[in-house]
Amino acid sequence: MVDNNDNLIREVEEELRRERMEKLWKQYGNYVIAAAALIVIIVLGYKYLEKLRLDAAEAAGAQYAAAMTLKSDGKKEEATKAFETLTKEGPVGYGALAQLQLASLLNEQGKKAEALAAYDALAKNSDADTLLSGYGALQAASLRLADADWTEMQNRLNDLSADISPWRYNARELLGLAAFKAGKPDEARKILGPLLADRNTPQGVIERAQVVMGQIVAAKLAKQAAASGSETPKAAASANATPAPNGDAAAASEKKE
């Protein structure tokens, strides 16, 4: 009797569960189907976009390799056009690399203004890898070194000189050189001195900084020597000059005669 009652209870519970599920399905079944369909669409869309991205990257890689071949073969005009096309139409990664090569080619061809514009465009490209954009900013500053004033060079290099910048050593070297060029030797020593003391500074940067520091010292010694040399003749002339007689001494001499 007890088993029959247990069976009956289980059957009733199962029936109640079934009725609840049917009710829930009638109420929310369409939403469940729509959600499942949406998930499938999203997955398929992602797979499709990923395929397009990979195809574009593969095509851009082939274009970049072809442009580099033109460059290595000395066909600069054709290479320039190929890099220009890739810069405008290629994906972000290859586009940034192409912009870097384009700027370098323009500079080699003596097109300084165009090269500067290309480097500046790369530096301002927020989608490009930070290492590449930083290098673009560094190269742009290098091109402007001969013509820019101290303020412009500071604006171009201050961020690159920060401790977290991967280009800090090169940027500080340029900044020190800019200070020396602007007639600020003390500022140049302040910037370049720590580079010589930092064991992590690249050897090339150290050697070039030493040259500038040597020029600063030589200029200071030459200035001191010039100042010392200009004072000596004046002192000698003063010591050898015969004092002019005053009026009383001249009168006494005339009376004696």
Q: For position 77, which CATH number holds?
A: 1.25.40
Domain that includes residue 79, residue range = 66-144
Residue 242's pLDDT is 36
In whole angstroms, what is the distance from residue 91 CA to residue 61 CA? 10
Residues 75 and 137 in one domain: yes
Count, residues in the chain: 257
Residue 34 within a domain: no
Residue 35 within a domain: no
Residue 251's pLDDT is 35
In whole angstroms, what is the distance from residue 123 CA to residue 172 CA? 18
**Which residue type is seen at 229?**
G
Residue 20's pLDDT is 75
Contact predicate 105/74, CB 8 Å: no
Overall number of domains in the chain = 2
Residue 231 within a domain: no
Contact predicate 135/100, CB 8 Å: yes
Last-in-domain residue among 95, 121, 144: 144
Residue 96 within a domain: yes
pTM for this one?
A: 0.69
Residue 115 within a domain: yes
Residues 180 and 213 in one domain: yes
Below-50 pLDDT ranges, the chain: 1-2, 231-257
Count the alpha carbons within 13 Å of 239 in the hemisphere toward its beta carbon.
Answer: 6
- How open is the CA angle 140-143-145, to the nearest 5 degrees? 110
Residues 140 and 173 in one domain: no
Residue 58's pLDDT is 78
Residues 159 and 184 in one domain: yes
In whole angstroms, what is the distance from residue 201 CA to residue 206 CA? 7
